Structures are given as C-alpha cells and as structure tokens.
Structure 1
Amino acid sequence: MAIEATASVSTIRDEAVTESPFYIPMTGPTARPRQVLKHDDTFVVLDSHGDIGASAGGPDGLFNADTRFLARLELLLDDMQPLLLGSNMRDDNSALTVDLTNPDIYSNGRLVLQKDVLHLVRTIFLWHGTAYQRIGLQNHGDRTAVFDLTLLFDNDFADLFEVRGAQRPRRGAGSSRLLGFNDVALDYRGLDDITRSSTVHLEPRPSRLGVNAATYHLELKPQENTSLFVTVSCNRPNTEPLMPFFKGLLAHRREMRQLTSGATSIETSNNIFNEVVCQSMADLNMLMTETPQGRYPYAGIPWYSTTFGRDGLITALQMLWIDPRVARGVLRRLAHYQATAVDPVNDAAPGKILHEMRGGEMASLREVPFAQYYGSVDSTPLFVMLAGLYVERTGDDATLGDLWESIEAALRWIDGPGDPDHDGFVEYQRATEEGLQNQGWKDSYDAVFHADGTLAEGNIALAEVQGYVFAAKQLAARCARRLGLKHQADKLDDEARRLAARFEEAFWCEELGTYALALDGAKRPCRVRTSNAGQLLFTGIVREDRARLVAADLLGPQFFSGWGIRTVARGEARYNPMSYHDGSIWPHDNALIALGFARYGLKHAVEQLFKGLFDAASYMELRRLPELFCGFQRERRRGPTLYPVACAPQAWASATPFTLLEASLGLEFDARRGEIRLRNPRLPAFLNEVILHDLQLGDSSVDLRVRRHGDDVSLEVLRTRGKIQVSLLLAH
C-alpha cells in the first residue's frame, strides 16, 4: 500500500512560493479530462474513463472531510486500458456514466478479441460517504468472449493540502487487509492518532482478490450481459449495511428533487441560456451540504469543498431572490462558529466570522492553520449584510431575533479589533506568519499593490470592505428598527453616513477617475485601477456622479475584455491576464458589479456585462462558468481562455447567471407589504422572454413573464398563490 503522498512538486524558488504557502501548483498537462461528483462532505474526482489515478495531471481521488480515501481505482481488460466511447454527467449531477469498449487484444501474437466487441458501461454516484459503481458488460460479438476484468485500487490517505502540493516530513502508517472473499480494508493511522479506513466491497465475489487488486475471469456468450458492483466507503462501521446500487441511486435522485422543490425556476426564450441556468442550479445543488445548522453551499471542487465564510455568504446573497432558505442555513452555521475569544493562531477575535474550516490530519495537527480559521476581513461585514438582506427578503423576524446577538457581536468586531488603528476603516494584517497574507477576496500574496508594483504592507484597508461595512451598518440599522431599537438604529445610520464621507475623502483618486484599491499601513492609497471599485457600486457607498465615472472605466477596453471585467486594468504594474487575481476574470466579481450598475440605474452597462458572461458560458464545457478564466481580449470566432486550476464547479460562479438576471430585471422584495418590484427592468438582446415560476414572498408566490420590446419590456402575471402584489417601476 502506498503511504507517501502521490502528488509532489519541485521546489519553486520564487516570490510566489515564498509568500504563499497555500499556493495551488500546476505541474503538467491533464492527460484525460476530469469529472466531479459530490454528496455532502464527500466528493470524487475521476477521469473521463471513470478511473482514479490512472492518468497524469489531475487531483484524482475519493475525498471525505479533506482526506483522500481512495487514490487509485483503475479498470483493465486483459491488462489493457479500454477504449473510451463517451462520458456523460447526468443533467442533475447525480451520476456519471462512462461508455467503454475493448481494444484489440492479442495472446501469443494472435488476435483473441477484436476491438469494439464488448460494451462496458460504468455508472458512478456518491451517497452517504460511499462511492457506488456498477460495471455493466455486454458481448456484441458472434462468439463467446473470454477475458479478465481487473480492478486495481490503492490509497495514500493524503491530506487535501498534500494533494495540493504540501510536503510533510512525517506521515502516519498505512496497511491493507482482506476482510473475506468480497472485501478489502485500506487503513491509515495518522499522526493525530485517528484511524481512517476505506472499505472496498465487490459483488459478486471476484475470481481472485488481493489487497490491491480484484480480477474477474469472465466468459460472455454472444449478446450476453452481466453486471459487477464496486463500493468504496469512507469510515463506514462494519455493522452498517450497504444500500444496494439501484435502490441507493433512486434514493439519491429522490433526495435531490426534494431539495430543489420550493426554489424559483427560470425559463427563457434562449435555449443556450436555459442550459446555462440548468447547469448552474444543478451545480449549486451538488455543492449544497446538509449541516446541523442547515444547508450550506460548499465553495468549490476540488480545493474548497468545505465551509468557507466569504464564499457561502456571497453565494447565499446571489441566491437570495431564488431561494432564501440557503441564506438562513449560511447565517445559522456561521453564527454557530462565530469567534468568542482571541486566538492568534486561528486569527480569531470575538465577533469575527469564520473564513474556513478543515477536517483533515494536517489541520488537526496545525500543520496548516485552517481547522477553524478566521483570517478574513470581509466575512464579518458580509455576515451582517446578508442577515439584513435576508430579513428584508423574507420578513423572517424570528430568525432575526435568533441572530441579533451574533449581529451585534460582529458590529463590535468591526468597530473594535477590525479597526486596530482607530481611523474608522476596517483593516487586516495576519496575526501569524502561517496565516493568509491578504485577507480580502483577492487573497493572493501579490493582489494588493501600489502603482509601481510594490506590495502594500502594514494594516491594509481594502476599498470594497469599507463598502461592505457601510452597507452592513445601514442594513443593521433597519434590523434594529424592526426590533424596536430606535436609538441603536439612529447611531448605526449616523456611523454609515460618516464612513461614506470619510471614504470618499481617503479613497477617491481624481487622476485615475476611480477609487484606490486600498490604503496601506501608512495610509498611502494604492492608486491602482481594479474591479474592487465595481463592488463599491454594489454596496451603495459611492457618490452618484462618481458611480458613472467608475462604471464607464470598468466597461472601457482596459478593463472589459469582451467576456467580462478584469480584476486589474490592463497596463497596471502587476497586470497579468493569466494570473489568479491580477488581470483574470471572475464571474462572481462581475455579478456583484452588475448589481452595482443596476443600483445606480446603469441598465445598459448591466446588459453589456450580462452578454459578455453569457457568451463566455456558451463556450464552456457543460455551459458551466468556472471559478475564473483568463483576461485575454476577446477575438472573433474564439472562445475565452481557461485558467488551468480553476475550480469547476464553484458556488459563487455557479450563482452568477442568477445574479445577472436579478440585476437585469431589477428585482426588489418588500416582505412587509407583500410586494415584488421590478425596477427599470431591461433584458439583453439574447433574451426575448423570461418566465419566473414560483417566485416566492412569504407564504405567497407568483409566476411572471417578462418580454423584451426593443429597449422596453412588458410584464405579465401568469398566476398568483396567496396575497401578493407585483409592481413595475420605470424611474430610478
């Protein structure tokens, strides 16, 4: 059994590795395309053949709680790899189906099995910590086919950070053992004294079974078919029975249908956009994880399949109009894990909202600081923002009452530890050298810099974070009024007004026509043109006249590539269209900017941005927007350039089409009045019609149809359930 990590990288002696110990390396090309499946805390990365670890270039494996529970599962026919016919993910992401056939197989120089005689179908799904696989075989030849089918399996129990490239001087001990004629146990005793175990079960009984291989000697008559079943379970107790394959698959699909019921569904006149929307919703449902506090959208596969504060908050905000139940689960979970004490190792302070939590061996041993890590400057104000927006969207005052103590604690952190030099701006500086150097959403080591390219140092105040604080205090004020706390509400409103004035004075750069990226520890503005200014529009902190200048700049050629807005403008010192945060295009960033455009009535700008991202999605595999893609300028008859290690799916990228539609339609919800408003709705040219089914407000719901007539739209109420009012507002 392999004990050492299968992923290794050469030492890179440059500033990126020195400054960023959690950098994700890309060391070579992917030999086969990868597919992913997820169910709750378990996910699997397979190649196009349905194999794990059989081809280079991918983070293959079956993972549970940040540990790889299977590093290899390869299927061979007479010791040869089968030929791929096709690989397809079910539309709802519930299962992967792979069609294979045999190559020409020779024995002693004689052709014993001609190619394309056997048809193999591998069907794979995840359910409650177990990977299920059926291998269906049929002989389409005119004579009996005699062959061996072998499954090779192995594991290293690598921590996810090892798979990402981290090197460990010591590891625990692994072992393999037979549990009978059908089962093999792969065990690992970690340095944290926790035993992790993978159980491989094969049905029917193999002809030969070893600790790393199972072989079936098969004889299939013409047109005869048979099935083999393989399950790999993560830490399954021996007393817990396995659900049969077909029964488990039906239960899994039934659960997925139940979880999606109650959310608004979207139908449009554009079939490609319908595919984009369906893929986005399927991906979001796959990323949702049942937690004790409610459903939570895990950030992305493979690197971020866990609870992330910022990602969960923004994803819930993006989905708020479609399914506010997601926001309730996110808020409750993050309130449960809100910091209550100072802990420099975890960058925690009372009231601070979680950044990331991990369950692997390295986190347990504090080889990485992410067991419960709070090194995020924006999660806390975003938590307050989402709480306020959720209550206004739903009228759920009971949840507000439950959350109010956590909201007040978050506000105390904002005004206290979040502002260490007491200048009225929320800032960050990592508490230890092991933590993240940059703690905004652009958290690469080189993401915050001055005009000459030098990196910002000291306590850093990011522009968009001040906007989040501004919006958080406004929304918290409205929440306080709902609770009858008028004095506290007035105080919060006054603090928000004073912050806006202070912000304009400190961050506006007249010579750039936009806002500084940040202030460094010496209060020097980082005079760099970045997309952060666009997120300021989303928060509403920007003056009306300057909002139009910012929007025009963001849609100019230095920012807008034709596919979307770059994170950093072309021509800036560290601009690189292939970088992670310094010139690439992030769909969720563009989505929040689109909401900012809509807030200031810039619907033509929303339309331009919407079209660019829709066009990009139309080129993507499965119509799936990835975490990010490269910021190269759009060229005729060519699609966008992918970023090699982007997560796909990733939650806030998957939610982006819904946010763009929200911005386009100008959706507003007034739960107290039972009213849904469409403010200055405008559909892009590729959408002639949009139908929203079961758009909910409280206990009522409505079906709407919006039609485009040039630059104008018409609104039709198709059906209502309960008491609900729909209004069309054509003035900003």
Structure 2
Amino acid sequence: MADTTTAKAQLGGDGSRTVAHGFQDADEVLPQYHIEAQTSLVDRPLRSLKFGEAFAVLDSFGDIGVQPGPEGLYFQDTRYLSRLHFTIEGQRPLMLSSVMQDDNGALSVDMTTPDIRLDGGDEITLPREIIAIERTKFLFRGACYDRIGLRSYDSRHRTLRIEVTFDADYRDLFEVRGTARTSRGKRAVQVASEHEVQFRYVGLDEIVRTTALHFGPKPKLLEPGRAVFEVTLAPEGRASLFVRVVCEAHRAFTSAPSVEKTGEDAAAALSLASGSTAVKPPKGLYEGMVFARAYRDARRDLRELTAGITTIISSNDQFNEAACRATADLYMLASRTPEGIYPFAGIPWYSTVFGRDGIITAMMALWIDPKFAKGVLRYLAVTQAKAVDPAADAQPGKVLHETRRGEMAMLGEVPFRHYYGTIDGTPLFVMLASEYYAVTGDRETITRIWPALELALAWMNDYGDRDGDGFVEYARDTDKGLENQGWKDSHDSIFHDDGHLAKGPIALCEVQGYVYAAKNGMAKLAAMLGHDAMAETLTLEADALRDAFDAAFWNEEIGTYALALDGEKRQCAVRSSNAGHALFTGIAKPERAAQVAATLLSKDGFNGWGVRTIARGEARYNPMSYHNGSIWPHDNAIIAMGLARYDLKHEAARIFQGMFETALYQDQKRLPELFCGFMRRRQRGPVSYPVACSPQAWAAAAPFAFLSACLGLELDHARNRVRLRNPILPAFLDGVSLYNVRLGESRVDLRFHRHGDDVTVSVMRRVGDAQVVVLK
C-alpha cells in the first residue's frame, strides 16, 4: 500500500517534541506473523513449565484449554495436547493456591471440593472443603507428569466420580498465534489399552506426531477424549490419580519413534538432547512409581545444571525473591544441545533457539554462569550460514536468527526452519566471544570457533556492508522474511520523524555499535592468538567506524543519535532507546554520553518504570505498541550497562529502581518480555502488554545486568582481577552479597554495604589468588 503519511514533527519551546499525526500506510493491514489476540495473556494467571523442547502453558488449576487461549502442551513448535480438564462430580474444584515451586521445577496447586449436589438432588450432599486436592505437574524428557492427590477430612466414606477430558489438535505454533492454513495432515485417536489413549497426527511434512496419555490406576471408563475414575475415600483416607502425557515425533514409515532429523541440515543435526523422547518405564511399573522416579530425576537434573553458579542475597527480601525467580526462569528456559546449554527465548511464542536473544541473555548472565555463553557460541558457530540462500535471508558467515521444528516451518509456509534474517546477530556473536574469553580465559573454545568468528567478520565487511560505506545495513531477500531485522523487528518500527516508514537498506544505530565492539573484541582475540597484523587492522577499522558513526548519526536537534539511516543515508531523526545501545558498546563519544542519557531519562523517554523504546511525542509513539513506545526490561538493562560504562551510575540506578518496582507488581515477581509505556501514576502499577511472553530469557537475565552495572563489576581473567568500578547501590538495597563469583580457578564472596551515596566492599571468602580491586 502506498505511504500516505502526513505527520509533521517539531520541537516545543521547552525542548519537548510534538507531532501532528495523520499518516496512513502499510500498518492498516495486519503485519507479518501477527500474534492474534482475542484474549489477553494477563486477564487470568497462566503457569509455564518447560524441559528441553517441550513446554506447557497451563491455567492456574493446571488445566489446558478450558478457556480459549495459548494453553497447551507443546513439543517442537507443535501443540500436542490442546485440552486436559479435571473435574470432580462434574464440577471444577475450588482454588486455594497455585504456585510455581521456587526453582520452577513443578507447579503445585491446592484445591478443595465445592458444594456438590449428588444424584441430581436439591440438597448439598457433599459440603465444600471436605476433600483436599493437591495437584503436582512437571515436565521431564518429552513427557508431562500429573499427579492429583485426594485426602478426605470427612467422618464417613465417600465415593467420588472424577473425570479427565482431553484432546490433541496438533496445531502448529504459528496457527495458535493466528496464522491461517489452507490444508492440514490427518489425525486419528484410539484407546490403545485399558490404561492408555493415543493420538496420532501424520503431517503434510511426513512427520508422525503422537501423544500418548497413560492413566493410573485403571479408569472405570476410558474413551477417546475422556477418562472416568471412581474413587472411594475412607475417613482420613487418601488416593492419587496419575496422568502421564508422552510426546514423540518420527518420520512416516519409520518403525522406531525418534526425533526427526534431516541429515544434511546442520541445525537439525543438533537435535536437542534433553527434549526428544520420554524415559520408558520398565514393564509393569505402576504410574505412581513412574511419577516418583521422574520427579526425582528431574530434581537431580536441575541441581546438576545450577551447580556452582554465582548467587545473590540482599538486604531486600522482595529483591531476593525477584532474583530467585529470574535465576529459576533462566535455567527453566535453558535447553541442552550437543554444543552445551542454550537459553530458549521465551514462552509461549518463542520457545526455541533465537540467535540474538541467546547472545544477549548470555552476555547479561556471563558473570552468573559462563556456561550459557559457551553453549550459545558453540551452537551458533556450528549453525552459521555457509552459503547464499535468499529464501532464508542467509549469506556465508551470517549467524542464525531462529530455528523452528513445526510443520509450517518444515513445509516452508513460514521461513523460520533455519532463518538468518537478523542484522545484529553476527556482530553480537563476535562481541560475546570476546567478552566470554575476557571472563573465562577459555582459549580452547575460542580456538574451536575461530573459523566461525573469521567468517562472521568477513560477512560484516562484505554482505553486511551492502554499499561499501562502512555501515552494516539490512534488506530482506525474501518477501516472507522479516521487514525489519534489528531487535525491533515490527514492520513499523523504523521510521522518519514525520512518521514515514524508512526505506532500505537500513543502517540501525545500535548495529553500528555492535560492529564497533565486535571489531575491538576481535582485535583482542586476534592478538591473543598471535595475529598481530589482523589485530592492528581491526583496531584502526573500529576507530574509523566510531568517527563515521558520530558524523552520520548524531543529531543535535533531538539531543541524541538518530534511530537509523535509510537507503538514501537520511537520518531517521527519532528519539529512541536504540541510542542507549551506543553507550553499551562504547561507540558513543564521551562528550555525547551525558546528553544521550538526559534524552533517555527525560519525561518523554523515561515513564517512571523504564525507558520507552520510542520517546513520547514521536510520530509513531504508541505506549501499547510492541516496539514504538513500550518498555522492554532487556533493553533497559543494556541501557543501564551503557550508562555505567560512561560512569553515569546514578542514572543506571534510577532505571534499576524502576525495573525493580515493576517486578513487584508482576505475577511471581517476574519481569515480562515487555509492558506498556504509559506514564507512571501514583498508587498504580505498570500497564501490562496483552501477549507478552513470560518468562522471557533476556528479561530474566536483566536483573543481573542491572546489578553488575551499578556495582561496576568487571571480571578480567588476563589480569586475574575482579574489578569494582565506582560501585553504587540503588535506594532499595542497603546491602548485597555475591557468593561464588568465579574467575578462572578462583572463587570470591563479596559483600557490599551502602552508606548514603557511598558503598563499602568486603571480601568474605577467597579461594585462589584472584585480586579484588575497588576503583573510585
């Protein structure tokens, strides 16, 4: 559709920006891969579980599909279970509590019976609160385990009818999101035994997907879609029902179930080891024993995954809860691959590998656990593009944007099977490698991925710089690809000050910073490996890029760096959070830092909770949009790290304070993917975004980035030094202790205590010879 934007922007007398709106253009039609929303994800509490490639979105009762929405049990981007509803005497129990365990290992729900009229009579024959119901659900190795425990507090025997209804629609995740399909595969269901019902779906991609529901004890009635139990409880008696749901996928005409592999595909060959198939119980083992053994093994697996990480204890119990939840979310989203652990992006829409998300998450969590960075680097090195493929927006050396395993991706109905349409993932990959080595000194990993780093560098200089002007730009090669390929990838997120959408190729502000940091980081790695000439060349290139960036992107009128340059090298003179990334990477000249910070933290930029993606008053500002006025925790964390880099610590602490207070209003004190950018009002919390992922990996990692920014925490393996540069603490923290900070073979416990604006640092424990240095 033709662009008919007519908005005009000008600066008011106080420096604020006012806009006359009146544009109409392509955003009149639904954008690509739109997430349809008839209901909000915040209108009722949802619970998320994940293990490997399987995840579950449940209502607070632990049920699935009672109301429309994204609830389901998913495996490899497909909904394997679309309904699972538990009732007692035809009624839903009364909710008492619904909580995720502190480590996200399981969902625990306490319920009781409502007032029940048995046999159709008018009188209540089973008073409420007579039967206690405790439900426990968790995922482990491709299966969902569900225990429903009953305990009677009655003085008489009771016989109860319990029913579980279920269904499996095998909708691709993109269908669940709202993308229509013209044809689908074939589905069948059968009662496989007196304990088991099996659904089977043969997709158009020739993948057979099966969902097996195992019930214990044997139901009184078992039909496709329904299991009925009759349970007799003595006074003070107990009983348990078990439902185990096993998800599997294999190619048609293949006898043994296994995860689909394509052989020639590098990413498919990296099939995630922890999410393939459920552990088969020995023949004759009762479902209760299966449940107990799986629960034990799942707990052991989580303990092994989190062993040795850095932990945080502060003077603020609420912050401790938020940090605990953030840690639990990170490790729940972590999936094992043959190359190490990889943090999946978020639930429900992005529970898969995303290059950019994984890199940024690993950066922010680097001081907590460098295993994330190691796994991300190795995985992205192996899946790096090796050839030109316009259908996947791929060129040699480019880092993966996203990979999907669902039917629509396999068939090419969406381009995301192995998709490379990201402009920032490749320089961020090199940045992460440099930061990982600085913290760990892991030369072996850097040597292993060095060819991939060289390819990434070549891509930045060749394919990335489309017109040879020294800036890295993007333009999609396939109409199915993403129109915008930075982290703000909405179709309308890059625009001029009058509201017109920018025409490409587009050079984003933050991407030039990533390239600058990547070249500086690559220079350090090259010098470490003895490539001195290469190191010198890269340093000179980075310095030249910094000068060129300042000349091309700085805009004195708006007091910050422009959002982007369009294909004609015209500035998108829009105040945005992207400029904060220029601080993060160090490409911003020191004399610009204070002015950039002032613009970010102005009333138009900072709403009291966080920095908006687009400042209030800009042409396309909309506080309810995905990228044009909303607030993203990870974006704010990057900005805070950038502010700290230029020693603007109090500004960083102000953002940290707002984000902490945001977490206090969230379910489980969990920072969401994003929230709306409306101005903060007294005695009211932030406004939620209707389809935000929660948990989201880079939002979970954000609290650790905020804390390290304020503390000025730097781990320097080469100097064997833990450096704390001008540490401060926000007002909500009087003290913080960090346990098991790792540097090489050394381990350090540190305590920080705030005295007004000053912070004292104490070393509580030191194992090894690492130095702790405090710089003011």
TM value normalised by structure 1: 0.96
Counterpart position of 1:179: 192
Counterpart position of 1:105: 116
User: Quick check: 1:569 aligned with 2:615?
Assistant: yes
Matches of 1:52 and 1:17, distance apart in 2:
34
- Assess if the C-alpha contact under 8 Å between 2:73 and 2:82 holds in 1: yes
Whichever residue aligns with residue 241 of structure 1, its letter is: K
User: Quick check: 1:93 aligned with 2:104?
Assistant: yes
Counterpart position of 1:612: 658
Tell me the CA shift for residue 449 of structure 1: 0.4
Counterpart position of 2:38: 27
Tell me the CA shift for residue 277 of structure 1: 0.6
Counterpart position of 1:146: 159
User: Quick check: 1:586 aligned with 2:597?
Assistant: no
Which residues of 2 match residues 440-459 of structure 1 at below 5 A?
440-459=486-505
Whichever residue aligns with residue 184 of structure 1, its letter is: V
Matches of 1:108 and 1:362, distance apart in 2:
48
Whichever residue aligns with residue 85 of structure 2, its letter is: E
User: Quick check: 1:373 aligned with 2:373?
Assistant: no
Matches of 1:409 and 1:165, distance apart in 2:
37
Whichever residue aligns with residue 318 of structure 1, its letter is: M
Whichever residue aligns with residue 35 of structure 1, its letter is: R
Whichever residue aligns with residue 42 of structure 1, its letter is: A
Counterpart position of 1:51: 63
Counterpart position of 1:71: 82
- Assess if the C-alpha contact under 8 Å between 1:358 and 1:372 holds in 2: yes
Matches of 1:292 and 1:582, distance apart in 2:
38
User: Quick check: 1:241 aligned with 2:280?
Assistant: yes
Matches of 2:98 and 2:239, distance apart in 1:
20
- Assess if the C-alpha contact under 8 Å between 2:32 and 2:491 holds in 1: no
Could you tell which deviates more after superposition, 142-151 or 593-602? 142-151
Tell me the CA shift for residue 29 of structure 1: 4.5
Tell me the CA shift for residue 633 of structure 1: 1.0
- Assess if the C-alpha contact under 8 Å between 1:558 and 1:571 holds in 2: yes
- Report the secondary structure of 2:558's partner residue: coil
Tell me the CA shift for residue 581 of structure 1: 0.4
Which residues of 2 match residues 313-392 of structure 1 at below 5 A?
313-392=359-438
User: Quick check: 1:472 aligned with 2:484?
Assistant: no
Q: Equivalent pairs: percent with the same residue?
A: 53
- Assess if the C-alpha contact under 8 Å between 2:341 and 2:372 holds in 1: yes
Counterpart position of 2:686: 640
1:193 to 182, 206, 215: 206
Whichever residue aligns with residue 713 of structure 1, its letter is: V
Matches of 2:131 and 2:734, distance apart in 1:
48
User: Quick check: 1:42 aligned with 2:54?
Assistant: yes
Matches of 1:448 and 1:462, distance apart in 2:
9
Deviations 1:464-509 (A, max 9, x none): 0000000000010011000111100011001101111111111111
Distance 1:16 1:160, change over 3 A: farther
Counterpart position of 1:120: 133
- Report the secondary structure of 1:179's partner residue: strand
Tell me the CA shift for residue 148 of structure 1: 0.9
Counterpart position of 2:484: 438
- Assess if the C-alpha contact under 8 Å between 1:68 and 1:156 holds in 2: yes
Counterpart position of 2:266: none
Matches of 2:537 and 2:59, distance apart in 1:
56
Matches of 1:262 and 1:682, distance apart in 2:
26
Matches of 1:627 and 1:194, distance apart in 2:
32
- Report the secondary structure of 2:385's partner residue: coil
Whichever residue aligns with residue 153 of structure 2, its letter is: H
Which residues of 2 match residues 249-260 of structure 1 at below 5 A?
249-260=295-306
Matches of 1:186 and 1:702, distance apart in 2:
53
Unaligned runs of 5+ in 1: 1-12
Distance 1:553 1:14, change over 3 A: closer
Which residues of 2 match residues 545-564 of structure 1 at below 5 A?
545-564=591-610
Aligned alpha-carbon RMSD (Å): 1.4
Counterpart position of 2:148: 135
- Report the secondary structure of 2:572's partner residue: coil
Tell me the CA shift for residue 19 of structure 1: 5.8
Tell me the CA shift for residue 16 of structure 1: 4.1
Matches of 2:25 and 2:550, distance apart in 1:
37
Counterpart position of 1:6: none
- Report the secondary structure of 1:150's partner residue: strand
Counterpart position of 2:5: none
Whichever residue aligns with residue 512 of structure 2, its letter is: Q
Whichever residue aligns with residue 241 of structure 2, its letter is: L
Matches of 2:317 and 2:61, distance apart in 1:
29
Whichever residue aligns with residue 200 of structure 1, its letter is: L
- Report the secondary structure of 1:556's partner residue: coil
- Assess if the C-alpha contact under 8 Å between 1:17 and 1:23 holds in 2: no
Counterpart position of 1:486: 532
User: Quick check: 1:540 aligned with 2:586?
Assistant: yes
Counterpart position of 2:709: 663
User: Quick check: 1:274 aligned with 2:351?
Assistant: no
Counterpart position of 1:709: 755
- Assess if the C-alpha contact under 8 Å between 2:356 and 2:401 holds in 1: yes
- Report the secondary structure of 1:323's partner residue: coil
Counterpart position of 1:155: 168
Could you tell which deviates more after superposition, 79-88 or 570-579? 79-88
Matches of 1:240 and 1:516, distance apart in 2:
54
Counterpart position of 1:5: none
Whichever residue aligns with residue 182 of structure 2, its letter is: P
Whichever residue aligns with residue 81 of structure 1, its letter is: R
Whichever residue aligns with residue 369 of structure 2, its letter is: D
- Report the secondary structure of 2:159's partner residue: strand
User: Quick check: 1:166 aligned with 2:212?
Assistant: no
- Assess if the C-alpha contact under 8 Å between 1:19 and 1:445 holds in 2: no
Tell me the CA shift for residue 109 of structure 1: 2.6
- In the alignment of these two chains, the number of paired residues is 717
Counterpart position of 1:8: none
Tell me the CA shift for residue 152 of structure 1: 0.3
Matches of 1:532 and 1:19, distance apart in 2:
25
Matches of 2:248 and 2:372, distance apart in 1:
29
Matches of 2:530 and 2:30, distance apart in 1:
48
1:414 to 457, 460, 463: 460
User: Quick check: 1:290 aligned with 2:356?
Assistant: no
Matches of 2:732 and 2:191, distance apart in 1:
59
- Assess if the C-alpha contact under 8 Å between 2:563 and 2:575 holds in 1: yes
- Assess if the C-alpha contact under 8 Å between 2:81 and 2:166 holds in 1: yes
- Assess if the C-alpha contact under 8 Å between 1:276 and 1:617 holds in 2: yes
Tell me the CA shift for residue 96 of structure 1: 0.4
Deviations 1:40-68 (A, max 9, x none): 11100010111100123x30100011011
Deviations 1:237-289 (A, max 9, x none): 68962371112112111211111111111111111111111010000010000
Matches of 1:635 and 1:187, distance apart in 2:
52
Distance 1:647 1:240, change over 3 A: closer
Deviations 1:219-249 (A, max 9, x none): 2222211001110000186896237111211
Tell me the CA shift for residue 14 of structure 1: 9.1
Counterpart position of 2:12: none
Unaligned runs of 5+ in 2: 1-23, 250-255, 258-277, 282-288
Tell me the CA shift for residue 632 of structure 1: 1.0
- Report the secondary structure of 1:218's partner residue: strand
User: Quick check: 1:263 aligned with 2:309?
Assistant: yes
Counterpart position of 2:219: 206
Whichever residue aligns with residue 50 of structure 1, its letter is: G
